[in-house]
Structure 1
């Protein structure tokens, strides 16, 4: 006989104890123990005593010599199990207690979610917190989190009818049911479900909080390379890793927004793989990774209203249709500027938390009141040379250190894609070399990522991008062939674009000695093809830098936008944009980016005034020939 479920140590309650057990209707004789005390209901009275029920399947006799009072059918009393006879009959004695604690006994073996694989086919009892309630066309599925993981519990009523309608999100519950294999995981088919309250709920809740804190703690790892500048951000990254792991365990979805360029992909793809593995390790639902994590590219270098409106709409639909919590929004290689704040305010209306990992020049006073966490090298006296991809590779390793070998080349791709001149680049290149990648290979991966992302537009490209970057890729040969094809096509398309555009580039020498090159990319470059205006401007700029060897500024403009690149000139584009907003009346100026690379928007009728004012500011900028350009331009503006 197993001891009653619910005892603190699994031992039978000794005589004189003050615990009385209340059996669930499904309990059998396997759930009772001699010497324990139970709540019973009289189901029949005879001359020699009274028959009592402890559950639908557990009954026995209280002999009249062991009765302390007179009872009718339906009366309740407390009895002690005196004997289990060889033929299975149970005999009880009535006891009277003035003070006792009553505990509910569900049917089954107490089990942790992590152990359910070994319990399939058996009846189990799981205590935990409801993190999702989904009504299907058949059962109601409650996702229940205990201290070890999350398991779907299917409760059947009439088809499509909500079972246990009083159960709400975040309730602490006890579930009894049969553990069955389903879709590559385990599901509990519910026999009974009870919402816990009072001290019992508090005790389970305290255990869950303690287990959650332990499981959310990131893995203790060493950085891939020794870099004092990077170490300043280490604690911030650990805080974000903790928040992301905790978010997953609490059943809150994550919507990952990232800039649609090489660095943004080097940041988001490793983190996506790490989080999907973490979800799979802690959820018995095989579909949980695709339901709890979405990776979404953003063309603009800030969180556009179009993007946030779509995110909000999908989040609210998922809450209504699938019983999900509203998500956490994770911004990567994006999200640090004042231009992001209108979108953040929209999320704030729904209490949707935002976490930002970025390396663009930030406006902390504007964004930090609206976000939960902000990792950015500028906040520690560093700059864009620490790319977001470098940061997120370490973040991914904190979540899943087993990914380390798959990610060693990724920081180098991120650095080359964003033109980082960090002192650690040589170490990252050496690390990539250990995996068989030379610098040419890494640059080709960056070009292939840019090319694929351009044509994917708003699609994340899931497996294709993973194969190009060779993260969680099952076929290294396929990766190499794919990169070769995409990089070759990217180079061909860039050459065709520049063949058409270079003869239309205008040149002048600024008062500070820098070369200024301008091109109308709307009228003198192919539209709606690769490369886009930002990339086209960057390629022209690189050729002019190589051609002159002098400080160079390049402006590529259209009817209502301009993209900017500079080498050897100490610009501050975010500051310039702020000044233009105030100085050009009616210009409708907005924009930003890094200090020496960025983009601006304006109303088309004020284009000449805005660009002329911008050039005047550039002519006053300090020449610093040791200052390179920071990064590739935004794919779209």
Structure 2
């Protein structure tokens, strides 16, 4: 058992099945039947035919690269017999004929590793006793003190190789370029004027000088990739010392540096091939650091402060909204990853998507990597509305691994529709040990203690001292206002989201705002229901593209198919919900307590536990459609209550603890949460709950 040289996953060999296409194989077999379909092999041109190109793979096997597999005309290929090419094995026929495909990667360094396929199994180049690894690339042009201009640069955007010595073939072709001068890490020339990251896309092929801060370091199987941030953007800079060997080992994250290198475009991304890198100190470092800080201070604060609509609940947290938007914008500018944790509910998903909609364009503008929006922003749904130790441990494990392997900065963590009660304290304390900043955006009744556990809490219940009607606001309404201040350019995209998040009694201001944006009541309802259904399936995944398709389209000419998508999924939602409602209604029990009518449902017996809808969503629907002022759901070991008038579930839990002291009662989620108890005391807890609710609300 070994480890994949790309991702480190335990495998029988050197490469996992998922990453075989990222590796260049050198074939030493003697029969076509030994070739592995889908693998990329290094070969040599044998000759042309009218219908394609013959390529020798190894010494004893020849395949056909049919002209239909080429991305250009056959006669335009600048290849001669004996030239090296990289091809993919598409099929090995029963008669021994080998069908080949063209590889867009035609240089060793464009692959993430190399493996030699022998009749006795796969081996890494350095495992060959008595053999030099550079034999694998002896067909490459001889190297000089500078690499040939036609040779593509190593991709600074390639993911980090997590083990082994993949890419040794590329290393052998480049290792000879190391000189005494490069080993001494030459300092940048003073003759070059400083340029900025936002301007280098017009300077491809030129050598530039950049000054900024190192915000990330990644060691690949080939180059070391330094992420450099200045006041205008972020760019990856590849520095090569030796395959898999750390270049400029004294340069670390947060160092203020001057870097010189050639600007190149590789697979569509701008990167800089580092020729010299110097850590600045003294007045030079202070000057650069001050320039960066001044730019961040100026750019991080929202230029426009205006709510989406006039709303007392939003007005109560205007300062917190602006401060939260500032922190999010600052994280983007400092090239810090942003991790959004939200409840796996319709409100949680829509609110998280609002922040995502605002942040992604800023990340795209800040970074030159095409995949930066996936690397610097993650949205991870939570199971419930509490940021417990399980969730925090997972986040800390991920961030420490990223920090250890790639020198990645610690993230900004944003809790949405979750984390506003003391139930999340343990999780926050774990983040605090590592100095991770955290923000909360939540419409529920938050605990005052949470203000000491997070940097900023956007919660009207805290800011208004209970004077604001919380029924007129959702977490999405809060998050959409934050998002509009994070990125004013997407404000128009967000205007319908608050209306989408209300299951009933949409405030007129938000309904009118959505209408003006092109989303009537029916369109908002379809999107709410569609997101609620999709939130249930694979609830641990963000489903970024699917959620965006459901929420951000309008029914105009640019996206009618997405409106149809929402309608289609919404129809499934209604069908599944109505089926469960029919069963639930037949088994509802109405109890009168102190002149109060309470609808009681045995959720352990009359709900399909592992089917849609969830217990909480079904109880919400029962209560909205029912005539009783209180709906009580009693499960195997959980009790959920829905009431027209505000009910403090924490006080209910305290009363149940006193009434049934052996039931192990505790409340999850604070005043708006639910009650957990020991299943053996189920009947006693139910009766005590009915009595207490009657006394409180009658």
Give the C-alpha shift of residue 279 in structure 1.
0.7
Give the C-alpha shift of residue 442 in structure 1.
1.3
| 2:479 is aligned with 1:392 | yes
Q: Distance in 2 between matches of 1:268 and 1:255?
A: 10
Cα deviation code 1:415-451 (max 9, x no counterpart): x23x466xxx112111211233222221221111111
Q: Which residue of 1 aligns with 2:414?
A: 330
Give the C-alpha shift of residue 408 in structure 1.
1.6
Q: Which residue of 1 aligns with 2:259?
A: 175
Q: Which has the larger radius of gyration?
A: 1
Q: Distance in 1 between matches of 2:612 and 2:232?
A: 48
Q: Which residue of 2 aligns with 1:618?
A: 693
| 2:369 is aligned with 1:305 | no
Q: Aligned pair in 2 of structure 1 residues 312, 281: CA closer, same or farther (>3 Å)?
A: same
Give the C-alpha shift of residue 581 in structure 1.
4.8
Q: Distance in 1 between matches of 2:256 and 2:459?
A: 38
Q: Distance in 1 between matches of 2:230 and 2:332?
A: 13
Cα deviation code 1:469-517 (max 9, x no counterpart): 1269995212211111111111111121122222221111111x22111
Alignment equivalent of 1:602, drawn from 671, 674, 677 = 677
Q: Aligned pair in 2 of structure 1 residues 572, 420: CA closer, same or farther (>3 Å)?
A: farther
Determine helix, strand or coil for the equivalent of 2:370: coil
Determine helix, strand or coil for the equivalent of 2:472: coil
Give the C-alpha shift of residue 185 in structure 1.
3.2
Q: Distance in 2 between matches of 1:583 and 1:167?
A: 64
Give the C-alpha shift of residue 574 in structure 1.
3.0
- Matches for 1:388-467 after TM superposition, within 5 Å: 388-414=475-501, 416-417=502-503, 419=504, 425-467=507-549
Give the C-alpha shift of residue 221 in structure 1.
4.1
Give the C-alpha shift of residue 151 in structure 1.
1.2
Q: Which residue of 2 aligns with 1:275?
A: 359
Q: Which residue of 2 aligns with 1:128?
A: 212
Report if the CA contact (8 A) 1:304-1:340 is conserved: yes
User: How high is the TM-score relative to the length of structure 1?
Assistant: 0.76
Cα deviation code 1:271-309 (max 9, x no counterpart): 112111101111112222111110011131211333222
Q: Which residue of 1 aligns with 2:340?
A: 256
Report if the CA contact (8 A) 2:262-2:275 is conserved: yes
Q: Aligned pair in 2 of structure 1 residues 149, 472: CA closer, same or farther (>3 Å)?
A: farther
- Matches for 1:180-259 after TM superposition, within 5 Å: 180-259=264-343
Q: Distance in 1 between matches of 2:601 and 2:263?
A: 67
Q: Aligned pair in 2 of structure 1 residues 201, 284: CA closer, same or farther (>3 Å)?
A: same
Q: Distance in 1 between matches of 2:286 and 2:658?
A: 57
Report if the CA contact (8 A) 1:177-1:192 is conserved: yes
Q: Distance in 2 between matches of 1:337 and 1:229?
A: 19
Q: Distance in 2 between matches of 1:369 and 1:434?
A: 40
Q: Which residue of 2 aligns with 1:470?
A: 552
Report if the CA contact (8 A) 1:508-1:515 is conserved: yes
Q: Which residue of 1 aligns with 2:47?
A: none
Q: Aligned pair in 2 of structure 1 residues 475, 593: CA closer, same or farther (>3 Å)?
A: farther
Report if the CA contact (8 A) 1:108-1:177 is conserved: no
Alignment equivalent of 1:564, drawn from 641, 647, 663 = 641
Q: Which residue of 2 aligns with 1:316?
A: 400
Cα deviation code 1:508-547 (max 9, x no counterpart): 1111x221111111211223111111122222222322xx
Q: Aligned pair in 2 of structure 1 residues 171, 519: CA closer, same or farther (>3 Å)?
A: same
- Matches for 1:90-105 after TM superposition, within 5 Å: 105=189
User: How high is the TM-score relative to the length of structure 2?
Assistant: 0.70
Determine helix, strand or coil for the equivalent of 2:525: helix
Report if the CA contact (8 A) 2:447-2:462 is conserved: no
Report if the CA contact (8 A) 2:342-2:385 is conserved: no
Alignment equivalent of 2:603, drawn from 521, 526, 529 = 521
> Any stretches of 5+ residues in structure 1 without a counterpart?
1-24, 27-54, 57-102, 546-550, 624-637
Alignment equivalent of 1:577, drawn from 621, 642, 653 = 653
| 2:632 is aligned with 1:555 | yes
Q: CA RMSD in A?
A: 2.4
Report if the CA contact (8 A) 1:172-1:201 is conserved: yes
Report if the CA contact (8 A) 2:211-2:259 is conserved: yes
Q: Distance in 1 between matches of 2:238 and 2:688?
A: 65
Give the C-alpha shift of residue 577 in structure 1.
2.8
Q: Which moved more, 1:492-501 or 1:161-170?
A: 492-501
- Matches for 1:289-300 after TM superposition, within 5 Å: 289-300=373-384
- Matches for 1:84-163 after TM superposition, within 5 Å: 105-106=189-190, 108-163=192-247
Q: Distance in 2 between matches of 1:588 and 1:113?
A: 59
Determine helix, strand or coil for the equivalent of 1:518: strand
Cα deviation code 1:70-129 (max 9, x no counterpart): xxxxxxxxxxxxxxxxxxxxxxxxxxxxxxxxx974463410111111211111111111
Report if the CA contact (8 A) 1:577-1:592 is conserved: no
Q: Distance in 1 between matches of 2:290 and 2:518?
A: 49
> Any stretches of 5+ residues in structure 2 without a counterpart?
1-144, 147-179, 182-186
Alignment equivalent of 2:568, drawn from 478, 485, 501 = 485
Give the C-alpha shift of residue 213 in structure 1.
0.9
Q: Distance in 1 between matches of 2:523 and 2:655?
A: 42
Q: Distance in 2 between matches of 1:526 and 1:117?
A: 56
| 2:591 is aligned with 1:508 | yes
Report if the CA contact (8 A) 1:143-1:151 is conserved: yes
Q: Aligned pair in 2 of structure 1 residues 471, 268: CA closer, same or farther (>3 Å)?
A: farther
Report if the CA contact (8 A) 1:240-1:373 is conserved: yes
Count of residues in correspondence between the two structures: 511
